[in-house]
Structure 1
């Protein structure tokens, strides 16, 4: 049995979707489904009184309290609950709305089961979870407007400095090569190290920058001024 169990709630107005998510997630030993809701109002009420770690939230639901509004209300009354938006609409503005309302992540419903499961675990650990193309689009929109809408934990100056100082010189070299678009094999050849060693460095970079994958690592590094594109 796992040392820590992630208490997960599912919010979706389609019973088949809820049933499918429940059936899949119950196969994971470290996940417990604690409640389900078919609309935003029900989700807000359940989140207020039930012990919950992660809420998987559909964004498009009937009624005045849609997914984004439900995220806003739950985040307002229970900031300890982490909300992962899971939607059929892969749109930049929907992602920004969900993240601005307090969601820790945004995934499309056609995401692979393994990525969804990994995303839940990442979110439970406090890491942002966003698919690469959505993250890039959201960042582009953020820069274009000169806004800071994404709830990134690298936003504060103190946090920025912490992330910068945590990277070793070699990790910075690997990150710079990642920003240039090189594969792990190419990075290894460039730096004179094995591809396996590069993979270890990439894993450390992703962990230290508190991101989901190498694309997010590069985008955060650009934002922090570590590398230039």
Structure 2
């Protein structure tokens, strides 16, 4: 497990203290790793990283923000990557949605580790950040997904939804009204409707029922 003598500065974020404790315990196996930041909300993570950037950021996908409402995971990752492009982001999550996982890799995360994986996968991902690899796939995501990455498939396609469109569709299919989505994303009704309609047009769908069926059948939700 030797990663040379370089000290790796790590930030960890999860809204469950027991998970933070488990991550801390696993990373203690790597003497070169130093946990500089430990937070429980997305807002706290962004604020802490502004004060003390880290080479590795291990974060849950969905956490409350400082208003105690669940923040959108895509928006959080987008902010981290925009503000700290050199940081290696490892998403440590219970979410197993294949469409979301692919989207995260497209957004530039280094690895997506499911919390059901063996704890060693988190260690392996941290070790891999010091290699020349662009990404790290845990055992459960290897095979077809690894081949798709190498061939550029499944991670880029002509009709890919924008981040805003995907956010609106996901929230809508989860049962939120357009009004709820406006409040959640701080967008106007016309903007939310436009994103939803553009997504349906790109996907070749004409009704809400078709959109919901598509989202569930493809693993988008």
User: What TM-score, normalized to structure 1?
Assistant: 0.57
Determine if the alignment matches structure 1 residue 100 to structure 2 residue 106.
Answer: yes
Aligned to 1:191: none
Encode CA deviations 1:98-138: one digit per residue, 9 max, x unaligned.
22332111111122222221111112435211224435565
Change (3 A) 1:109 1:146: closer
Q: Is the 8 A contact 2:8 2:32 kept in 1?
A: yes
Q: How do 1:177-192 residues align onto structure 2 when only pairs under 5 Å count?
A: none
The equivalent residue for 2:45 is 43
Query: Number of paired residues?
Result: 149
Residue 153 of structure 2 aligns to a residue whose secondary structure is helix
Aligned CA RMSD, in angstroms, stands at 2.7
Task: Please say which of residues 135-144 and 106-115 is displaced more in the overlay.
Answer: 135-144
C-alpha distance in 1 between matches for 2:47 and 2:38: 11
- Residues 43 and 70 of structure 1 are in contact (CA less than 8 Å); yes or no, is this contact kept in structure 2? no
Q: More deviation in 125-134 or 79-88?
A: 125-134
Match of 2:124 in 1: 118
Matched, 1:21 2:23: yes
Asked which structure has the greater RCO (Cα within 8 Å, sep 6+), the reply is 2
Answer with 101-110 or 131-140: which moved more: 131-140
Structure 1 residues 3, 59: closer, same or farther in 2, change over 3 A?
Answer: same
CA distance in 2, matches of 1:146, 1:51: 29
Stretches of structure 2 lacking an aligned partner (at least 5 in a row):
161-221
1:61 aligns with 2:53: no
Separation in 2 of the partners of 1:94 and 1:136?
18
More displaced stretch, 123-132 vs 86-95:
123-132
Of 14, 27, 32, 1:30 maps to: 32
Whether 1:147 aligns to 2:153 is: no
Paired with 1:126 and 1:83, the residues of 2 have a C-alpha distance of 15
Partner in structure 1 of residue 141 of structure 2: 134
TM-score by length of 2: 0.59
Flag structure 1 segments of 5+ consecutive residues without an equivalent.
150-229
Which residue matches 2:206?
Answer: none
- Out of 84, 87, 90, the residue aligned to residue 78 of structure 1 is 84
